[in-house]
Structure 1
Amino acid sequence: MTKIVALIPAYNEGERIAKTVESLKKVSSITRIVVVDDCSTDDTAKKASEAGAEVFGLEENMGKGGALNKALKGLDYDILLLIDGDLSESASEACKILEPVIDGSADMTIADFPKPDKKGGFGLVKGLARWGIWKLTGTQMNEPLSGQRAIRRNVIESINKFSGGFGVEVGMTIDALQKGFKVKEIPTSMSHAETGRDIRGFMHRGHQFLDVFKVILSRLR
């Protein structure tokens, strides 16, 4: 039996994590659901556990890449499903990105989201990510920042370590493509909590831009 582990890095997702876990439980091919609680200050861990997930708690906030690297140590899986904690009911769409990896037509799949209802930033982070991936691999990507991915174990082992911070997805895509793995974007109806055009949203995207820039720069050298 193929061991498919859904790994959910989460920080202060108490409002949505239970629905995300419950929706993933509807995907029959998933054999295990693990939430990595990145030292949340709310009830993320409690809500995730009550919903039926295994919870791996961190004693300090490590950021997305660091949390994933920590959780992967000793994790037994054949296919890793990365899911953000704020997908709620739309997490059940994970079946769409799992299918090509299960049948062998892709080594890594990336969820392509529909256009959001609410306007967020001005596309600077996504534009930088797209440019970096194209510059380093010659591949055009529609959703370079999507955190919803299904990945074969040999891809993870070849990458060896995820990039830190918010650059984890871009680094993962560049590394996988440069190593010759088959990467596909899969249309889904997934949705998550969008950041708006307010101070909090701009600060988040500012940190994201810097992390993505660092990842691209490190691979251009």
Structure 2
Amino acid sequence: MRVSVLIPAFNEGDRIGPTIRAARAVDEVSEIIVVDDGSADDTEKQARKAGARVIRHSRNYGKGAALYSAIGASTGDVLVFLDADVGEHATEIVKLITPIAQGRADMTIAKFPASDVKSGWGWVKGLAKKGIFHLASLEVEAPLSGQRALRREVLSVLGSLSSGYGVEVGMTIDAAKGGYRILEVPVEMKHRDYGRNWRGVLHRGRQFLHVAIALAERWALR
């Protein structure tokens, strides 16, 4: 079984190296593909230095486009989607791979431990959870998690990968409606917390909009 780790990255030069090195330490991983989605920093250089194969976009097209490029270049039977900023916690992807390798799931979603930082008011997560339940009759606790793994065959039922933060929500709905088994897996991972400052509010505003668009697209197709 070949496992491809796919990492979309935008201006993650100071974080992506440790993430790649940790993922490379996982025995099951066969290849790591980073898509530098138009970064203005040294993301590409640091990714290559850490041992990843790098695809570079000339400008920032968004997360969905980055994942499309990575999927097209991958060769694995199992695909692992990983954010660039999880650092040494990337070794936890073995917990996502194992249930698929054992035939217990077709898609796994990482469920992070509760954060000590108050990062938001739950609006985006609440919208995502309700949307997934109403459109796919599936209850999930971590609807926004970008850390997930899936069998390549699941790609056959996925619709368009949203360009922004709605990509995971759309992916979950499509896989569930396609009859694939989805399992949430507790992991000891951490990534960037935006907090409740102005950057955090702006980030969550974009998230809310992107999730709403992904839900509206799938509502129109129901």
Superposition pairs of residues 68-217 of structure 1, within 5 angstroms = 68-217=67-216
Q: Distance in 1 between matches of 2:82 and 2:114?
A: 19
Any idea what SS the aligned residue of 1:33 has?
strand
User: Contact 2:159–2:171 at 8 Å: present in 1 too?
Assistant: no
Question: What amino acid does structure 1 have at the position aligned with 2:168?
Answer: E
Moved over 4 A (4+): none
1:218, distance to aligned residue in structure 2 (A): 1.4
RMSD between aligned residues: 1.0
TM-score where L is the length of structure 2: 0.96
Q: Which runs of 5+ in 2 are unaligned?
A: none
Superposition pairs of residues 55-70 of structure 1, within 5 angstroms = 55-70=54-69
Q: Among the aligned pairs, what percent are the same residue?
A: 46
Any idea what SS the aligned residue of 2:205 has?
helix
How many residues end up aligned between the 2 structures? 220
Any idea what SS the aligned residue of 2:125 has?
helix
Greater shift, 55-64 or 151-160, is seen at 151-160
Change (3 A) 1:23 1:74: closer
1:171, distance to aligned residue in structure 2 (A): 0.0
1:219 aligns with 218
2:41 aligns with 42
Q: Distance in 1 between matches of 2:170 and 2:53?
A: 27
User: Contact 2:34–2:70 at 8 Å: present in 1 too?
Assistant: no
TM-score where L is the length of structure 1: 0.97
User: Contact 1:69–1:161 at 8 Å: present in 2 too?
Assistant: no
Q: Distance in 2 between matches of 1:128 and 1:89?
A: 31
1:70, distance to aligned residue in structure 2 (A): 2.4
Question: What amino acid does structure 2 have at the position aligned with 1:104?
Answer: G
1:54 aligns with 53
Q: Distance in 2 between matches of 1:132 and 1:194?
A: 24
1:29 aligns with 28
Q: Distance in 2 between matches of 1:24 and 1:74?
A: 18
1:19 aligns with 18
Q: Which runs of 5+ in 1 are unaligned?
A: none
1:160, distance to aligned residue in structure 2 (A): 5.0
Change (3 A) 1:122 1:199: same
Deviations for 1:57-100, whole angstroms, at most 9, x for unmatched residues?
Answer: 11110110111112322432211000000000111000001101
